[in-house]
Structure 1
Amino acid sequence: MNTVKIPTITSKQLNYAVSLIVKTGKAKYRQIKTEQDIPADKTLSQLTKAEATQLIGALKAEVEGMRRG
């Protein structure tokens, strides 16, 4: 199984992301759609390269959607 290095996130970046979600009122439990199901019990470091790429793409799309409002 391939593993992928996840870049470290500073607390400032994390707080900004959380504040974006809270400000847009979209903090309710949401499922982010990925092309294939990624097992929920996997940690980030256990993701395969393909799964990590999918997750990153889905997160980017989610953030772009929030920016547009």
Structure 2
Amino acid sequence: MPIAAKIRVQRMIKGYSQEYMAFRLNISQNAYSKLERGETELTVRRFYEIIEILEVPMNSLLTEYRSFDL
């Protein structure tokens, strides 16, 4: 799952709106929506701001979980 999709999932788990995230990031709701859709490149700085708002560990958004049949 792409990082942008993981951010969206975490935002929804927290019950935060895109408008709230955009407000906290000091960007427009449209700009935030583009981040979640992967249409805008996510900078390292912006990534850190998002994980701080969402209060999630960085590796939870970076780690790719895969299941293997044994």
Q: What TM-score, normalized by structure 1, do the two folds share?
A: 0.36
> By percentage of residues, which structure has more helix?
2
Q: What TM-score, normalized by structure 2, do the two folds share?
A: 0.36
Between the two structures, name the one with larger relative contact order (CA 8 Å, sep ≥ 6).
1
